[in-house]
Amino acid sequence: EKSYNIYIGHNLETTIIDFFKAQKYSQKALIITDTNIAPLYADSVKDLLTKAGFNAKIAIIPAGEQSKSLSVAETLYTQAIEHGLDRKSPIIALGGGVVGDLAGFIAATFMRGVPFIQMPTSLLAQVDSSVGGKVAVNHALGKNLIGAFYQPQAVFMDLEMMKTLPTREISTGLGEVIKYGFIYDHNFYTYLTEHQQEILQLKPEALIHIIARSCEIKADVVSKDECEAGLRAILNFGHTLGHAIEKETNYAVYNHGEAVAIGMVGASKLSFKLGLISQDVVDKMCQLLANMNLPLKAKNCNAQKIYQDIFHDKKTVNGKVNWVLLEDIGKVCIKKDVPEKLVKETILEIL
Ligand code: NAD
Ligand code: ZN
């Protein structure tokens, strides 16, 4: 697998210009962004590309998960063709996970694949969706059902952009950040507990550390298992219940990181019930999530439906749920045969 650089920091302008100048790309480029981000950042990114010698077109999609669809993809292919892109034209994703997944899907499929550059603007996109190479659009019958594995050629994370991100979206990203500590790195967990204030205040040093460490952990896990055979499954910690909660609330009440937070509380409680961890670890999970303004329980969900949804999760194979459970802070295991009774008890405790 070809490697690529992830640049994290402030004032990345020169780095970005130099990167584009150094590539052997065609002159036409497409910047894909959404209606919230375009007025804030699209012109300055276009200016950087102009300075690097490119003729870039800005394509703006409506903000929101609805845009991750084949019909929106089609409008983007049209714009790419009309602007005159060819096989060596770069496509730049400037936005959160929605833009990144959609633009990556376009880049993977347009002319059987064109150069793809990620400029993630949400914390979730920086710590999660822009790393690992999964790109996708949704189908009316399910999320992320149509997609590919497609790596970017570079990722640029400009931390200045965090300043305009709504605080709720910061917490969303922190849900996944906390996940990395619990599944992989006790020291990182400790860092998060000791720097909560700096993180919530978006202090540059703390932001750089949590983003860099999250990317490292995800890249480490993914590089050992790019196509999700085994290890990559640990990234799904908190997601089995989280996805069910998102679905039962029609993706309208909790955003992804919030649902994952509740799912991690559930997975911790289940680990405790199975005797894998002490109550103290469950409490530490709840404490850190609460301090980062994340929910611990889901309102207005039906326990029976949550239980059924678990078996319809994309990652459930042959009716067997692969539970990612905690053995300690920083260590997980995967269990297939968890007693129904314990799962049902756990669900009731997170509603
Ligand atoms: P998003 O892209 O919808 O962004 C959240 C909101 O913040 C949007 O309204 C967006 O316009 C706004 N926004 C983003 N950056 C901003 C900024 N700097 N200033 C002001 N507003 C800004 O959602 P998200 O949480 O970034 O990503 C969620 C998506 O990511 C989902 O579709 C999910 O499936 C996907 N995802 C993919 C992977 C993967 O591995 N590919 C992993 C996790 C999540
Ligand atoms: Zn997630």
Residue by residue, DSSP assigns 71-93 as: HHHHHHHHHHHHHT--TT--EEE
Q: Are residues 157 and 185 in the same domain?
A: no
Q: Residue 289: pLDDT above 60?
A: yes
Q: Are residues 140 and 209 in the same domain?
A: no
**pLDDT on residue 292:** 98
Q: Are residues 154 and 270 in the same domain?
A: no
CA of 65 to the centre of ligand 1 (A): 8
Q: What are the Cα distances from residue 190, in Å, to 194, 217, 257, 325, 335?
A: 6, 15, 20, 19, 26
Q: Are residues 155 and 195 in the same domain?
A: no
- Secondary element (H or E) of residue 15: helix 13-22
The pick from 33, 40, 65, 98 for probing ligand 1's pocket by mutation, whose C-beta has the most ligand atoms within 8 angstroms, reads 98
Q: Are residues 215 and 140 in the same domain?
A: no
Q: Are residues 72 and 172 in the same domain?
A: no
Identify whether 112 is a catalytic site residue: yes
**pLDDT on residue 1:** 57
Q: Which atom of ligand 1 is nearest to the CA of 41?
A: 18
Q: Are residues 318 and 223 in the same domain?
A: yes
Q: Decide which of 164, 194, 220 is a domain's last residue.
A: 164
Q: Decide which of 129, 164, 199 is a domain's last residue.
A: 164
Q: Are residues 131 and 247 in the same domain?
A: no
Indicate whether residue 242 lines ligand 1 (CB < 6 A).
no
Q: What are the Cα distances from residue 176, in Å, to 115, 233, 255?
A: 27, 14, 12
Q: Considering its fold, how many domains does the chain have in total?
A: 2
Tell me the mean pLDDT in the region 188-213.
97
CA of 14 to the centre of ligand 2 (A): 32
Strands 116-120 and 142-149: unpaired
Q: Which atom of ligand 1 is nearest to the CA of 161?
A: 18
Q: Are residues 91 and 35 in the same domain?
A: yes
pLDDT tens, position by position, 126-136 = 999 999 999 99
Question: By percentage, how much of the chain surpasses pLDDT 70?
Answer: 98
Q: Which of 29-33, 304-308, 314-318 has the lowest mean pLDDT?
A: 314-318
What CATH number is given to the structural domain containing 276? 1.20.1090.10
**pLDDT on residue 95:** 98
pLDDT tens, position by position, 205-230 = 999 999 999 999 999 998 887 655 57
What CATH number is given to the structural domain containing 126? 3.40.50.1970
Identify whether 340 is a catalytic site residue: no
Q: Which domain holds residue 225?
A: 167-349
Q: What are the Cα distances from residue 84, in Å, to 24, 27, 46, 54?
A: 17, 10, 17, 12
**CA gap 200, 264 in Å, rounded:** 20
Q: Which atom of ligand 1 is nearest to the CA of 162?
A: 18
pLDDT tens, position by position, 222-265 = 888 765 557 889 999 999 999 999 999 998 999 999 999 999 99
CA of 178, nearest ligand number? 2
The pick from 130, 167, 169, 232 for probing ligand 1's pocket by mutation, whose C-beta has the most ligand atoms within 8 angstroms, reads 169
Indicate whether residue 128 lines ligand 1 (CB < 6 A).
yes
CA 103, chain centre distance (Å): 14
Q: Decide which of 164, 198, 219 is a domain's last residue.
A: 164
Q: Residue 85: pLDDT above 80?
A: yes
Q: Are residues 18 and 154 in the same domain?
A: yes
**pLDDT on residue 229:** 59
Q: Are residues 255 and 268 in the same domain?
A: yes
Q: Which atom of ligand 1 is nearest to the CA of 120?
A: 15
**pLDDT on residue 77:** 98
Indicate whether residue 239 lines ligand 1 (CB < 6 A).
no
Tell me the mean pLDDT in the region 156-172.
96
CA of 136, nearest ligand number? 1
- Secondary element (H or E) of residue 33: strand 28-34
Indicate whether residue 61 lines ligand 1 (CB < 6 A).
no
What does the mean pLDDT of the chain come to?
95
Q: Judge contact between 286 and 296, C-beta under 8 A.
A: yes
**pLDDT on residue 142:** 85
Identify whether 68 is a catalytic site residue: no
Q: What is the CA radius of gyration of the chain?
A: 20
Q: Are residues 14 and 157 in the same domain?
A: yes
**pLDDT on residue 228:** 57
Identify whether 232 is a catalytic site residue: yes
**pLDDT on residue 227:** 58
**pLDDT on residue 89:** 98
Identify whether 209 is a catalytic site residue: no
Pick the catalytic residue: 46, 179, 218, 247? Answer: 218
Q: Residue 317: pLDDT above 80?
A: no
What are 249's two structure tokens?
């609330």
Ranges of beta strands (E only) in the chain are: 5-9, 28-34, 55-61, 91-95, 116-120, 134-139, 142-149, 154-158, 323-328, 331-335
**pLDDT on residue 58:** 98
